């Protein structure tokens, strides 16, 4: 919706209207419950002669029928302002997250956490198809003081601040393809566990592909070196990283999507400073007839821990497998209803870490 220099795009989404067969990801005697999530949100833009203010907000209203402790209201918001000169574009952005959603595959508790990120930067158009970007960012991650998982207060092991400097080169190869090279220096400092303090150097390259390209999305690979700082005991990591999110529209109204990730993530366990998460998710969507479509999904994430060795002398390895499918109905432009079933299974070398769960329900999204 547009009114002069103001544009607004509200949306509302209903997801997971159905049954979760293992609400707490338990090994024995799993609990099931009826649940759903309603997510209203909106994008908002105000354009001036040379400036653009972009706002985005979303709230997730999570409901469980029997287990009231799992109900929550989660919020996300972001704002960015940019000012375009002839060849120079300074910008500033802020994003904030207040949520009780699980932070990853390791922590099963729905723990309240807060994440705030500030970014300042400028990009310079060097040539008609070349752009140089410099920026600094600061991220704060805080868990509520009463959140505990596995007997460990999460704020004691995970509260931290990240400060980074980024330098990137963007080269437009075609109308739909941009090649990017980025180098970053990062400094992470933990509030309570100083032994985890570390410094990272990253190099990353890949492609950004336009939404009308045959293959669309983004695909990046890189290298990261993580070292201990301030006299800490953090084990060193050197290895390949990846961040891929692409889709391909094949003949006969078939769409294939692939997501791949590999990077370091910090563990809540004090004995395990971090783990290397390597995972992939593949989705096949096939239009059946008319507005009906069918979807299959599969994925696996491996968590390779650094720190604790098992009695056998091996490093700990956990694995999470996902398999699911669903049927969708396209009502109109921007409106889709679906019924989905997903099975999750975790195999962990941590005692009590295994679980299985089945989640089935309806979802729908509508953009005004």
Domain CATH number, residue 58 = 2.40.170.10
Report the number of distinct structural domains present in the chain. 1
pLDDT, tens digit, 9 for 90 and up, residues 322-339: 999 999 998 877 688 999
Mean pLDDT of 27-39: 94
pLDDT band of residue 349 (cuts 50, 70, 90) is confident
Let me know: does 112 contact 103? Beta carbons within 8 Å.
Answer: no
pLDDT band of residue 321 (cuts 50, 70, 90) is very high
For residue 1, what pLDDT is reported? 82
For residue 25, what pLDDT is reported? 93
Is residue 261 predicted with pLDDT exceeding 80?
Answer: yes
Is residue 141 predicted with pLDDT exceeding 60?
Answer: yes
pLDDT band of residue 135 (cuts 50, 70, 90) is very high
Let me know: does 117 contact 139? Beta carbons within 8 Å.
Answer: yes
Q: What percent of the chain has pLDDT over 70?
A: 97
Mean pLDDT of 121-127: 95
Is residue 312 predicted with pLDDT exceeding 60?
Answer: no
Least reliable range by pLDDT among 13-22, 174-183, 297-306, 307-316:
307-316
pLDDT band of residue 310 (cuts 50, 70, 90) is low
For residue 352, what pLDDT is reported? 84
Contacts of 312 (CB under 8 A, 6+ apart): none
Is residue 251 predicted with pLDDT exceeding 90?
Answer: no
pLDDT band of residue 368 (cuts 50, 70, 90) is low
Number of neighbouring beta carbons within 10 Å of residue 314: 9
For residue 152, what pLDDT is reported? 92
pLDDT, tens digit, 9 for 90 and up, residues 38-83: 999 999 999 988 999 999 999 999 999 999 999 999 999 999 999 9
**Closest C-alpha among 126, 134, 131 to residue 178:** 131
Mean pLDDT of 194-220: 93
Most confident of 45-49, 117-121, 353-357: 117-121
Mean pLDDT of 295-305: 95
Mean pLDDT of 231-236: 86
- For the chain, give the mean pLDDT: 92
For residue 366, what pLDDT is reported? 80
Greater pLDDT, 132 or 288: 132
Residue 211 domain boundaries:
2-367
For residue 93, what pLDDT is reported? 97
């Amino acid at each position: 919706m547009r009114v002069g220099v103001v544009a607004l795009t509200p949306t509302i989404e209903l997801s997971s209207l159905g049954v979760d067969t293992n609400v707490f990801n338990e090994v024995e005697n799993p609990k099931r419950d009826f649940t759903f999530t309603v997510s209203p949100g909106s994008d908002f833009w105000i354009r001036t002669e040379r400036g653009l203010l972009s706002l985005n907000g979303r709230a997730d209203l999570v409901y469980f029928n029997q287990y009231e402790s799992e109900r929550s209201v989660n919020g996300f918001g972001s704002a960015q302002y940019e000012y375009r000169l002839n060849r120079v574009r300074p910008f500033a952005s802020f994003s904030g997250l207040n949520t009780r959603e699980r932070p990853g595959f390791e922590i099963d508790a729905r723990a309240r956490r807060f994440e705030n990120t500030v970014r300042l930067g400028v990009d310079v158009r060097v040539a008609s198809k070349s752009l140089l970007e410099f920026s600094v960012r600061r991220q704060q991650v805080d868990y509520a003081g009463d959140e505990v998982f596995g007997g460990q207060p999460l704020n004691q092991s995970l509260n931290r601040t990240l400060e980074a400097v980024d330098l990137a080169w963007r080269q437009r190869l075609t109308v739909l393809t941009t090649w990017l090279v980025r180098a970053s220096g990062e400094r992470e400092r933990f509030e309570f566990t100083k032994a985890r303090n570390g410094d990272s150097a990253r190099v990353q390259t890949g492609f950004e592909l336009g939404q009308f390209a045959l293959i669309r999305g983004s695909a990046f690979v890189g290298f990261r070196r993580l070292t201990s700082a301030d006299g800490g005991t953090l084990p060193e990591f050197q290895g390949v990283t990846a961040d891929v999110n692409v889709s391909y529209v094949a003949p006969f109204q078939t769409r294939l999507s692939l997501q791949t990730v590999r990077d370091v993530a910090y563990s809540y366990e004090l004995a395990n400073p971090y783990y290397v998460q390597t995972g992939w998710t593949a989705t096949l969507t096939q239009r059946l007839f008319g507005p009906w479509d069918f979807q299959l999904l599969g994925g696996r994430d491996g968590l390779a821990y650094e720190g604790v060795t098992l009695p056998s002398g091996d490093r700990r390895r956990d694995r999470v497998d996902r398999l699911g499918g669903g049927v969708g109905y396209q009502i109109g432009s921007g409106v889709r209803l679906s019924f989905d079933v997903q099975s999750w299974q975790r195999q962990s070398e941590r005692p009590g870490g295994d679980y299985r769960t089945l989640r089935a329900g309806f979802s729908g999204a509508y953009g005004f």
